Amino acid sequence: MCEDVGMAVDLAWLLGVLTLALLSPGPDFLLVVKNSVGGTRARALATAVGIAAGLAVHMALVSIGLAALPATVLRVVQLIGVVFLGFLGVRALVSSPRASDAAEPAEAPSARSGFVEGLVCNVTNPKAFVFFVSLFAQVIDTTSPAAWRLLVPVVVVVHGLVVWSALVFALQSAPVARALGRAQRWLPRAFGAALLLVAVAMLVDALR
């Protein structure tokens, strides 16, 4: 009984830390906000699903014992992430603003592209992987029950999906959408510039 209570406390602590981490400004957060403000709900939610899929990849790597990936591998992954975020930032900067009274253009980015963006953005962020490794070390070890080692990764992925989806619905709710309506012409570009700044910061970190 005491052990079950201790596990429940550990899980609550884990989810609290994860919520703060997910909502901190970073590549995933900026991407979800950009696609929520400048895209359709389907694309924004697909971005959230893609990020959750990326979390599943991180959790799988941790679970099968690949926590100690070589530094060279992490650096290569980080450089891929730099290129990808740079591409997303440039595309947002040069894209034409959506007119609020116009129909959705045929060439508008699809939900599938949102999923791919979310997945690649999360998977190519080595700091996210290192964060999960260090966090899991606090709540899981080799003596933990197998059910616990399975439950925690599943909860992490579901929690991420819920948090990102809630952010999408909040940003696209009527009051927020009205407040952001006058900024639709420049706000996606602002988040594109922010993604470029994150890419530059990641590049500097990778080249140290």
Q: What string of pLDDT tens digits covers the 208 residues of the chain?
A: 555 666 677 777 778 877 887 877 788 888 998 888 877 899 999 999 999 999 888 887 776 655 555 667 667 766 887 887 788 778 777 766 554 444 444 455 688 999 999 999 888 887 777 777 777 766 766 666 777 778 888 888 899 999 999 999 998 888 887 777 666 666 667 777 877 887 787 788 767 7
Asked whether 53 and 65 are in contact (CB, 8 A), the reply is no
Q: What is the pTM of this model?
A: 0.74
What is the structure's pLDDT at 44? 94
Any residues with CB less than 8 A from the CB of 128 and at least 6 apart, and which?
28, 54, 58, 122
Domain count, the chain: 1
Q: Residue 41 phi/psi, 5° resolution?
A: -65, -40
**Runs of H (alpha helix) within 39-173:** 41-63, 71-94, 111-123, 126-139, 146-171
What is the structure's pLDDT at 183? 63
Which residue range(s) make up the domain with 120?
A: 2-206
**Closest Cα partner for 124 from 94, 92, 80?**
80
Distance CA 56, CA 148 (A): 16
Q: pLDDT tens, 71-126?
A: 676 677 668 878 877 887 787 777 665 544 444 444 556 889 999 999 998 888 87
What is the structure's pLDDT at 68? 54
Q: Residue 168: how many CB atoms within 10 A of its CB?
A: 21
What is the structure's pLDDT at 46? 96
Q: What is the DSSP letter of 144?
A: S
